[in-house]
Amino acid sequence: MTGFLRLADGRTLVEQLRLQLGNIGSSVGPTIGVALLLVWVLANDTNALALRLWAGIVILIKLYCARDARRTLAREISFERAPRLVWRQMALNGIDAAAWGALAWVTLGSTSTAGSILVIAVLAGVAGSSMSSLSPVLPVFVVFGTIELAVLAAKLVLLGDPAFNALGAAGVLYVATLLGQARNGARAARAAIDLRFENLELIERLRIETGHAQAAQLKADEANLAKSKFLAAASHDLRQPIHAQGLFLEVLARSKLSAAQYDALANARATWHASAEMLDTLLDFSRIEAGVVEPQMQDFQLQPLLNRIENELAPQADAKGIVYRSRETHAAVRSDPALVALILRNLVSNAIRYTDSGGVLVACRARRRELLLEVWDTGIGIAPTQQGEIFREFHQLGNAERDRRKGLGLGLAIAQGLARALGHSLSLVSVPGRGSVFRLALPMAQAGVASGGLEAAAGHARVFDVRVLVIDDDEAVRAGMKQLLTAWGCECDVADSIEDAQALARAHPPGLVISDYRLRELRTGAEAIAALRAEFGEQLPALLITGDTAPQRLREARASGVPLLHKPVSPNELYRGLTCVLNDLEIDSAFAVLEAVPVQTRRRA
């Protein structure tokens, strides 16, 4: 019995009380109606006064219980207060049960047989309805049912009628049945309450975990932003001296040097190219992050592109003692040739870097309306667990010591980012220890394309007959630009600010302006060019050079509409840039114009 009546603990008991107290208000109306009906039906000269008094007491008790429940619910029910409230409800409902049981004492023996049956039916109905409303707190219903039955049974025994004794026995069985149902109802209510709390706890844990995930995401975003800012700042600061170094090396190359000096110069230029290549890789990645890559879609033949990549990268394979092979193709595709070339260059460079024996094969394979551009290698292969990671930036296999000769770990990230920008799929199949194949799916061209779409005719060196105004806040860059441009036949003025540039331009009107993008006092080369064009005409040729790789800076520079080159600018790129802007030709706005390298036939599969 103790276990049967044991109260729940803490918050579950509080919710059981709330549920039981909330049921009281709905029983006020039926109680008043039933009491008044009984008075109207059962009242006679013998019991009228007692019956009216009984009805008034029952109605007052119910109204008081409802008011008490409303006040209790309006206040916070603490865990400590809950057991006391249970005892209070047991007392109030015990009184209510005694009042209902008193109906038998008021009416039985003073009313007809039909009236007695009505009284027994009403008391049974009250017990049944109380079971549904009081069972959430089982001890409260046990008190109500027991007291009501006891008061009724006492009257039935006193009447001494065998029929009433039988009714009393039936009443005991009825109340026992109600107690069993009440226990089941109490268990169901408790289970529902516990489930609700479990759901709330789950929701709270989910909220906390979501908060942690959002905080981690915010922290990761902040770390990524800090990384991008650091790379942009470091890249800009490194580009300045490397850019100036390239200009001085070009000027030095035009001087008379001894054989030993030429060897030293060659080594210096090789070191410069290696540094510039790493910075260009960072720039390519920053361009993708900045979202300034806008594909220029066109139909072109693949073979000239394959020739160019082979001429550029096959010497690296030769140096490692591995074979570079490419299969001839007459296929034409629709994409951006400069971006496809950069993707292929990164894939082939990666294949050569991780292949120590065997070789690298570049081939094409038609599949429905697509052409699969494939790069095969017999390198170390990639484990399945790593195949999703290798496209992340700065992720490298087998380079824990961060050997700079193995690159920065950005090549595949750049290839994937460019493929996504072009709307092409880039996939990988690899077997550890046997090699890998990367496949770039390109849409086939809809019509025939003339051959040689990518071949650029090598320009003949010529002397420029133009006055150039160079604006840069770095003294070494100004000196290097002035020496190189003068060697190309230009008259050159240099300035370190917009105001100095305007003063020089008024004294010697320029035919071309070359400005660094980031100037002092948070001003930009775009502002400088706009100020000069406002004074000397909108048709004044101009060229921007920037060492910035920050996404926002790249977007700003691109929005200026002025042709843009990125430090370190090789003398060849600068030469082509001058040629383009002076002849009103478009410079490739996505990536640097492909080098005009004579195509030579190498190994063909």
Q: Find which of 349-353, 448-452, 595-599 is predicted with most confidence, using mean pLDDT.
A: 349-353
For the segment 551-581, what is each residue's pLDDT rounded down to a tens digit? 666 677 677 778 888 777 778 888 888 888 8
Q: What is the pLDDT of residue 275?
A: 61
In this predicted structure, the answer to whether residue 172 has a pLDDT above a threshold of 50 is: yes
- pLDDT at position 53: 93
Angle between helices 10-24 and 82-107 (to 10 degrees): 30
Q: Per CATH, the architecture of 257-292+459-605 is what?
A: 3-Layer(aba) Sandwich (3.40)
User: Which range (121-135, 385-399, 447-461) has the least confidence?
Assistant: 447-461
What the block records as the tokens of 462 is: 């010529």
pLDDT band at 470 (very low <50, low <70, confident <90, very high): very high
Going by DSSP bridges, is the β-strand pair 359-367/370-377 parallel, antiparallel, or unpaired? antiparallel
3-state SS, residue 368: coil
Between residues 553 and 599, the one the model is more confident about: 553
Return the pLDDT at 129. Answer: 80
Select, from the ranges 136-150, 550-564, 591-605, the one with the highest average predicted confidence (pLDDT): 136-150
Structure tokens belonging to residue 416: 């994937």
Report the pLDDT averaged over residues 75-94.
83
Mean pLDDT of the chain: 76
pLDDT for 284-338, tens place per residue? 555 555 554 567 788 888 888 888 888 878 888 888 899 998 888 888 888 888 7
Residue with the bigger pLDDT between 2 and 490: it is: 490
Do 257-292+459-605 and 298-443 share a fold? Answer: no
Please report, to the nearest 10 degrees, the dihedral formed by the alpha carbons of residues 588, 591, 595, 599 taken in order: -90
pLDDT bin (cut points 50, 70, 90) of residue 60 is very high
User: Do the Cβ atoms of 422 and 415 come closer than 8 Å?
Assistant: no
3-class SS letters over 423-474: CCCEEEEEECCCEEEEEEEEEECCCCCCCCCCCCCCCCCCCCCCEEEEECCC
Question: Mean pLDDT across the stretch 166-191?
Answer: 73
Domain locations along the chain: 2-206, 257-292+459-605, 298-443
Question: Per-residue pLDDT for 6 more than 60?
Answer: no
State residue 3's pLDDT score: 45
In CATH, which superfamily holds the domain spanning 298-443? Answer: Histidine kinase-like ATPase, C-terminal domain (3.30.565.10)
Span 380-418, pLDDT tens digits: 888 776 666 666 654 455 444 444 444 445 667 778 877
Q: Which of 103-112, 129-138, 220-229, 234-243 has the lowest mean pLDDT?
A: 234-243
pLDDT at 469: 93
519-563 pLDDT per residue, tens: 888 888 888 889 999 988 888 898 888 776 566 666 776 777 788
Residue bearing tokens 């079971």: 131
For 366: left if phi > 0, alpha if psi spans -120 to 50, otherwise beta; the answer is beta
- For residues 457 and 593, is the Cβ–Cβ distance under 8 A? no
Greater model confidence, 162 or 207: 207
Percent of the chain with pLDDT over 90: 5
User: For 499, what's the count of Cα atoms within 13 Å in the CB-facing half-sphere?
Assistant: 2
Q: At what angle do helices 259-290 and 551-559 cross, to 10 degrees?
A: 90
pTM: 0.41
Secondary structure (DSSP) of 168-189? HHHHHHHHHHHHHHHHHHHHHH
